[in-house]
Structure 1
Amino acid sequence: MLLGKDEKHSNGQITHFQAFFTAISATVGLGTISGVAIAISIGGPGAIFWMVITGLFGMSVKFAEVTLGLKYRTNEERVGGPFQYMKHGLAEIGLPKIGMVVALTYAILLIIAMICGGIPFQANQVAALFNNLFQYDKSFIVPLILSLLVWLVIMGGVKRIAKVATSLAPIMTVLYIIGCILIIFMYRDALPSALYSIVSGLFGKTAIGGGAIGSLIAGVRRSVFANEAGTATAAIAHYATQENEPVRAGCVAMIGPCIDTIIISFLTGIVILVTGFTTQNNNIEGIVLIKSIFSSISPLWGYVIFPFITLSFAFSTIIAYSYYCEVAWVYVFNSRKSIILCHILILILIYISGLSQDVKLISSLGDTLFMCLTIPNAITIYLLSKKVGNQLNSYIQKGLL
């Protein structure tokens, strides 16, 4: 499905591959990596288990979101995704006014969450890493450069964003996984005790609380901030895909939580545990901690490859978030001319957050805002669950599955 033939006669502008990696770019960001370190520091090793469980549930949720997004896609609408299935889907079951209110509320929350939560966290961690790497005295340099790079991409619209995402995400994902595997192999003697610590801390009070918080902080931060299942943002990316079969698009979207949470976040957690950096480096947090771990492979990994991976992850996430923000902005204000204001806000927040030293405050703000997105979306998916089931049954009956 992911690499299959796209339907050129559909309403979409980009391919399945591009839509998938645009969505992946938004989820496989620094929340999925540095956020894991924060989650473990708060909830203990047992939090890793709850991250994986959240990812498994997230696959089903993301399937429903994207399936509904394409089911209610229309030629008349200039923007699409969750707005359409909230507005038209709820109207279809006799709740037109509620649908309009829910869609508008979601769009406003999405703008706030991206501008004040998701984008600032990525920018902050990039700045923190490169300031630590080069020991910059002038901390404004990194956020300024990052702002300019983001501006150059987002001005090109969804096609340019998709092109950049598909160029960066696959390579960086593979490189990061290889790096994690190398570290685990180097510290393989500590692997049994690391796995035991996850099991032993699984049902402890701090583990359960940390698992829930970790899902937010580490990027659903597992289901909200990491794989974003429940926030409906993937429906925006897949809305633009060249596909007329909603269930097929939903199946492609399901792969996302598996990659970013079940694989990448889990590997990151294991890497942190086998190296013991959580206890050795209590004064280091977030992305700087992960950089220190990758430096144990070799200076090349710690000072060249990992920073390049980090920048790519963060940059692709920021441009994907910017696109989501643009779409919500157009829905709320019904005007593409005002998007320039949206761009200005994004660039200002990138710069300001890059100067901040308080990563936990920024990550907590992001967690809260992303969690707010799940409320209108969860209500809508629950009310439209029969529609999802009907779509799946129809797809099966056609012999397509």
Structure 2
Amino acid sequence: MNKKLLSLLLLAIPMLTSAQEKGLDQQIDEAFGNATGWFVNFIFYQIPFTDNVSIYWVLFPLILGALYFTVYFNFINFKGFFTSINIVRGEYDDLEDRVDHNVEIAKSQFTDEEDNPDTIRIEGHSGEVSHFQALTAALSATVGLGNIAGVAIAVSIGGAGATFWMIVAGFLGMSSKFVECTLGVKYRDIEEDGTVYGGPMYYLTKGMKNKTLGKILATLFAIFVIGGSFGGGNMFQVNQAFQLVQNITGGSESFLVGKGWLFGLVMAILVGIVIIGGIKKIAKVTDKIVPFMVAIYVAASLFVIFVNYDMIGDAFSQIFYGAFSPEGVAGGAVGVLVQGFRRAAFSNEAGIGSASIAHSAVKTKYAASEGMVALLEPFIDTVVVCTMTALVLIITGNVAAENASLNDAQAILLTSGAFESAISWFPYVLTVAVVLFAFSSMISWSYYGFQGWVFLFGRSKKMEYTYKIIFCIFVVVGAAASLGSVIGFSDAMVFAMMVPNMIGLIILAPKVKGELNKYMDAIKSRKA
């Protein structure tokens, strides 16, 4: 299979090279943009709020939903934080051993009348990956360019105060992640060979009383997640990684100019090797890459911060003062709040539903245990990593209004320059980190898209390899071509996932509360 994949990628090279020479990619991009612009404009429609500020409508259900879940689950994002850490550490692993793997015993323990037979059978199965591996697989899709470029854009437009609202959004997003990932485990499918199929497609079809509505929402979600996996989870990642590699190797004088296809081919081969093995192989890679790249990035950030320790107090003053009194910055307080929430939502994907696909593969009998683990994800992604980036930018003075028109590629270079002011050689390390961020995001998003693909087209090996080959070809395309409209369309599809997912989360919240009570009772009985 790997030989077939390689041969197809090699066949794509001359076509891509020809496309670059003829400018065909730009023509395709323009035609695609004209055809899909209505969808992108709808998803990213901005509601005028003040003379200077407009708010994306998609932020409203994300923020209001997160607020609702935080209150409904009695501030689980704070009260359950240390329990979540203990679960990842394996503190409660013995609870899993109490549940006999026998299907009949599993049925007697999970007697929800609305659970169909598949769900009951599933909950007697152990899953595929550990709590830690599920967490890193999901984190690998979210910790990435949004933490580097996205934060730079947020503080450039909204000032230092945007950081405060990013942190608030991160804490609220923890509640949404808890709900969707608990449901992902509760309603997952497990094949006879142990392969797990989970995510919003399954809890929307299985969990909702109105089965017709559930199937419609699940089908929409599956379509959106496939589109998002090809674009934002693939082409955008490899394209931005290539731009940074080209910049670090000489910019316009780099030997890589015009050779994006070569970079894409190497990445495609590496991605292909990993994703052919499924979630187990993906998890084995991400549980090594994610802690490594986050540790490097956080360590470098702390170095810059502590080298300028005398400026830390002033940085936090700018963050808090700017959050509530940002005169003249991006339309005032509302503008700063919008920038913070927007970039946090783009970064941690809480409420989008994607993470529940990775978390559903966990080895557990208690759905809420993985929901608890998942709530750590926005904390690590937004509260820790994004805040570190923001502090570096603020301390090094890179929050000027003249940077407000940055695109993602320029924003990465701004962040790189901020680190370089304290660590001269760090741009090289950041380049490696960005490539790892892009690589890990691609392999995780390939899994998300694959789950949507098999939901629509069936679980045969033929369908599996068809999707994975197409995905790898798009890696080469993404590095070689200038497909701005395609990436814009895919970003819109990622946020479109929120619509069917959030409807399901609100309706199924009582089911999650039941799972939480069941798990917390098990922990209490263990201590008794």
What TM-score comes out, normalization by structure 2 length?
0.69
Equivalence for 1:334: 458
Give the partner amino acid of 2:457. Answer: F
Give 1:357 deviation, angstroms: 6.4
Instruction: Considering Cα pairs closer than 8 Å and 6+ residues apart, tell me whether 1 or 2 has the greater RCO.
Output: 1
Give 1:280 deviation, angstroms: 9.9
Give the partner amino acid of 1:332. Answer: L
Alpha carbons of structure 1 residues 118 and 213: separation in structure 2 relative to 1, 3 Å = farther
Q: Secondary structure at the match of 2:315?
A: helix
Residue 264 (structure 2) pairs with residue 138 (structure 1): no
Contact 1:16 1:242 (8 Å CA) reproduced:
yes
Give the partner amino acid of 2:216. Answer: V
Alpha carbons of structure 1 residues 311 and 386: separation in structure 2 relative to 1, 3 Å = same
Distance 2:490 2:390 in 1: 21
- Given candidates 245, 249, 261, the residue that maps to 2:370 is 249
Give 1:139 deviation, angstroms: 3.9
Contact 1:281 1:289 (8 Å CA) reproduced:
no
Contact 1:81 1:239 (8 Å CA) reproduced:
yes
Equivalence for 1:268: 389
Equivalence for 1:184: 305
Q: Secondary structure at the match of 1:285?
A: helix
Q: Secondary structure at the match of 1:243?
A: coil
Q: Equivalences for 1:88-99 in 2 at 5 Å?
A: 88-90=206-208, 94-99=209-214
Give 1:374 deviation, angstroms: 1.1
Equivalence for 1:85: 203
Q: Secondary structure at the match of 1:226?
A: helix
Alpha carbons of structure 1 residues 165 and 235: separation in structure 2 relative to 1, 3 Å = same
Contact 2:196 2:360 (8 Å CA) reproduced:
no
Structure 1: segments with no counterpart, 5+ residues: none
Structure 2: segments with no counterpart, 5+ residues: 1-86, 102-124
Give 1:74 deviation, angstroms: 3.8
Contact 2:165 2:341 (8 Å CA) reproduced:
yes
Equivalence for 2:32: none
Alpha carbons of structure 1 residues 158 and 398: separation in structure 2 relative to 1, 3 Å = closer
Name whichever of 248-257 and 339-348 sits farther off: 339-348
Give the partner amino acid of 1:79. Answer: Y
Deviation per CA, 1:353-391: give whole Å up to 9, x if none. Answer: 3245688x7875555332211111111110111111122
Alpha carbons of structure 1 residues 386 and 98: separation in structure 2 relative to 1, 3 Å = same
Contact 1:35 1:214 (8 Å CA) reproduced:
no
Deviation per CA, 1:285-313: give whole Å up to 9, x if none. Answer: 2222222222233343222x222222222
- Given candidates 110, 117, 132, the residue that maps to 1:17 is 132
Instruction: Tell me how many residue pairs correspond in the alignment.
Output: 391
Q: Equivalences for 1:42-121 in 2 at 5 Å?
A: 42-75=157-190, 79-90=197-208, 94-121=209-236
Give 1:400 deviation, angstroms: 4.3
Give 1:230 deviation, angstroms: 0.4
Give 1:183 deviation, angstroms: 0.7
- Report sequence identity in percent: 36
Contact 1:27 1:227 (8 Å CA) reproduced:
yes
Equivalence for 1:209: 335
Q: Secondary structure at the match of 2:197?
A: coil
Q: Larger Rg: 1 or 2?
A: 2
Distance 2:398 2:374 in 1: 34
Give the partner amino acid of 1:398. Answer: A
Equivalence for 1:279: 400
Residue 425 (structure 2) pairs with residue 300 (structure 1): yes
Distance 1:338 1:358 in 2: 26
Q: Secondary structure at the match of 1:25?
A: helix
Alpha carbons of structure 1 residues 275 and 230: separation in structure 2 relative to 1, 3 Å = same
Equivalence for 1:347: 472
Residue 520 (structure 2) pairs with residue 392 (structure 1): no
Give 1:281 deviation, angstroms: 8.4
Give the partner amino acid of 2:277. Answer: G
Name whichever of 181-190 and 242-251 sits farther off: 181-190
Q: Secondary structure at the match of 2:410?
A: coil
Alpha carbons of structure 1 residues 316 and 229: separation in structure 2 relative to 1, 3 Å = same
Give the partner amino acid of 2:479. Answer: G
RMSD: 2.5
